[in-house]
Amino acid sequence: MNASPSTSANAPAAVPLRQDARTIGLIGLAHGSSHFFHLLLPPLFPWLIADFGYSYSELSVLLSVFFVVSGVGQALAGFLVDRVGARPILFAALTSFIVAGVIASTAQGYATLLLASVFAGLGNAPFHPVDFTILNKRVSAPRIGHAFSVHGISGNLGWALAPVFMAGITTATGSWRTACLCGAGLAALVLLIMVLNRDALDDRKPLVAAAARPVAGNAPVEHPMAFLRLPSVWLCFSFFFWSTCALSAIQSFASPALQSMYGLPLSLTALVATGYMLCGAAGMLIGGFLVGRVQRLEKLIAISLLASAVLLAVVGSGLLPGYVALAVAAVAGLGTGIAGPSRDMLIKKAAPPGATGRVYGTVYSGLDLGFCLAAPVFGAMLDAHFYGGVFFGSATALALSVVSAAFVGQKVAQRYAAA
């Protein structure tokens, strides 16, 4: 049967795959660079200790400064993105990374390293509101799930690349300053690519075929801060906080915990974080296909994260053979990866029209807070020789994030039912 005239007139034109893929690829590259700069300095800590005589406690403050600046800046950046657009903020963020790398390469003391951390945090701050604003406005609805999947995968790859890049160049050249300068050069290259392809990043000219949501006919204009009254926003914030606490535990503390619990060499247990992130990347690829086929996203999130929590708890029990425990801890990343695209789609549905940047900025600041607060807690567990607590704690954090996701799904369902 032929479509009615009204249906044909209202149907959006199909967007070419190449057009969507171009925007998705650019945002993936930009997001990967932001995760790379999370780890601009940490891989260099052994060399900084050798040159300046700092302790790990002193150097860990550099990370705290990065995430405090990023977290506060991320919440504020969302308002700026909604006001002036995402593209110029993206260019400014990448410029800030260049400055951070140059400052780090010329550092003569602690104050200069702190300044480099501040600029890196400023650069990192706007990426999630920028990325998701551009993706939601420039990518067609049928491919938005895949866009979220690529976005998450690129972040994991950025985390995986940074230690190899920074430590590798330092080892090859004998200079950590050269590595920092090369990091600045990498950010400059990414910025050049973004500028040359700026038409694909113009969120002020959204595609007609982009995903739409039902909006009330004569809805009054709301105050810019009105979205803060939505319970779903703060539930999403808590979801990010708890899930990031679990990630922080695995990234920073799983390796020494596995070494102490199972007697494995540190050179081997160091692979757990890389394995966890690679499994997470594979999970995100799977999740990108599932997100458009699942009606209740919070159920997919719950199943995936609870499965990961169970695996981590089993590792924490100390009952597995050493090599099996290492593999199981890494495979737990698969569940968190599968949940990623559904998580981002759930936030998209929770965001009021016109407040995408503000919502993503506020919600994703929970990620920075999670990194800030989880590190001292899990570090204290290691100091107390409670090695299994790293895995039990991360499993508990994932379970708490499931509770938050369930409430978000409920609020979103109620909102769409009332629309």
Bigger pLDDT: 226 vs 318: 318
**What pLDDT score does 410 carry?**
65
d(CA 206, CA 353): 14
Contact present, 335 and 307 (Cβ < 8 Å): yes
Q: Give all domains of the chain, ordered by start, each with its CATH number.
A: 16-207 (1.20.1250.20), 227-419 (1.20.1250.20)
pLDDT digit string, tens, across residues 23-61: 999 999 999 999 999 889 988 888 898 899 988 678 878
d(CA 21, CA 61): 39
- Is the confidence at residue 271, as pLDDT, over 50? yes
**What pLDDT score does 198 carry?**
93
The residue to which tokens 């503000």 are assigned: 358
**What pLDDT score does 269 carry?**
82
**What pLDDT score does 296 carry?**
74
Band of pLDDT at residue 373, cut at 50, 70 and 90: confident
pLDDT digit string, tens, across residues 178-201: 999 999 999 999 999 999 999 999
**What pLDDT score does 229 carry?**
63
High-pLDDT (> 90) share of the chain, %: 36
Most confident of 8-22, 209-223, 300-314, 373-387: 300-314
What integer best gives the mean pLDDT of the chain?
Answer: 83
- Is the confidence at residue 407, as pLDDT, over 80? no
- Is the confidence at residue 87, as pLDDT, over 90? yes
SS3 of 285-354:
HHHHHHCCCCCCHHHHHHHHHHHHHHHHHHHHCCCCCHHHHHHHHHHHHHHHHHHHHHHHHHHHHHCCCC
**What pLDDT score does 212 carry?**
44
d(CA 328, CA 58): 33
If you average pLDDT over residues 402-416, what whole number do you get? 67
